[in-house]
Amino acid sequence: MPSRIAVITDSSSCLPDLVASRWAIGVVQIQLNLGGHFDDENRFDRGEVINAMREGHTITTSPPDPGAFFWTYQEAAASGATAIVSIHISGRMSDTVRAAREAAQQVRIPVHVLDSRTTGMSLGFAAVSAARAAAAGGDAGRVIEAAERRCFTSTEFIYVDTLEFLRRGGRIGAAQAMLGTAFSIKPLLTVKDGEVAPLARVPGTRRALAKMVDLAVKKSGGFRADIAVTRFGASDHELEIGRQIERRVPAMAESMVVEASTVIGAHLGPGALGITVSPVY
């Protein structure tokens, strides 16, 4: 009997529901705690979370319970999967990978758990590439290779209004050195070695966003690439950023504007914007 590989990721991948459904990607929800209300992140109203953050309420996040992974894996097996490739947020940012590995030991079919060492649409594009390889009949090795190639070659460019939310959540990593940034200086960040890292300090929001676009265009130069603009809460900038990239990246394969997962937004803060550049091979 030919193998059928199921692909699972977590909600930090920021995959739109339609994309996950199209490629039959299972998405396990990371947990959010707001005012003592603890639940899957997709059960919270995004606007209410953003308002709570602006009002100074404490918001914390937690990895999925291993049981959530176990039942997702069991469902995949019951649907005919002969193996599972489970791709997740960097282990330096979250214990999600650990929970997935714990659950994998209890499942009767092979489960290959991958630490993407990234997050956001870099993870999302990796899950899609894995699912495409699986849909084409690839074995577990081919599916893993497709996912890892995307993880290792994708780049995140991140704008935040302030580093305060990253500091509160303990996810600031090497960007800690930028905490002394003056109010008018806006930080640009990336993900490096599995954690948030500083990229540049730019005066003013518009200059910072223009710099981020320039960096994304330079990164995609000469390559056919998928590009995603990620926002946490609507702003006046994300659509214009998308239009600029479409004009300046002629080799772009696919572009989309997506909502950041609420868990990612809880660490980046309202008004955060990101650009993911993911080469297509």
pLDDT one-digit tens code per residue, 104-153: 999 999 999 999 999 999 999 999 999 999 999 999 999 999 999 999 99
Q: Is the pLDDT of residue 274 over 90?
A: yes
**Torsion (CA) 59, 52, 40, 267 in degrees, nearest 10:** -50
Domains delineated in the chain: 5-29+64-152 (3.40.50.10170), 155-279 (3.30.1180.10)
Question: Residue 165 is which amino acid?
Answer: F
The answer to whether the CB of 179 falls within 8 A of the CB of 164 is no
Q: Is the pLDDT of residue 96 over 90?
A: yes
| DSSP letter for each residue of 94-139 | -SHHHHHHHHHTT-SS-EEEEE-S--HHHHHHHHHHHHHHHHTT--
pLDDT digits (tens, 9 = 90+) for 195-248: 989 899 898 889 999 999 999 999 988 789 999 999 998 777 888 898 999 899
**What whole-number distance in Å separates Cα of residue 187 and Cα of residue 162?**
7
**What whole-number distance in Å separates Cα of residue 191 and Cα of residue 156?**
6
pTM attached to this predicted model: 0.92
pLDDT digits (tens, 9 = 90+) for 139-184: 999 999 999 999 999 999 999 887 777 776 555 554 454 544 555 7
Distances (CA, A) of 4 to 53, 100, 110, 141, 236: 43, 20, 11, 12, 43
For residue 21, give every residue at least 6 positions away whose Cβ sits within 8 Å of its Cβ, in sequence order, or none: none
Q: 35: pLDDT confidence band, cut at 50, 70 and 90?
A: confident
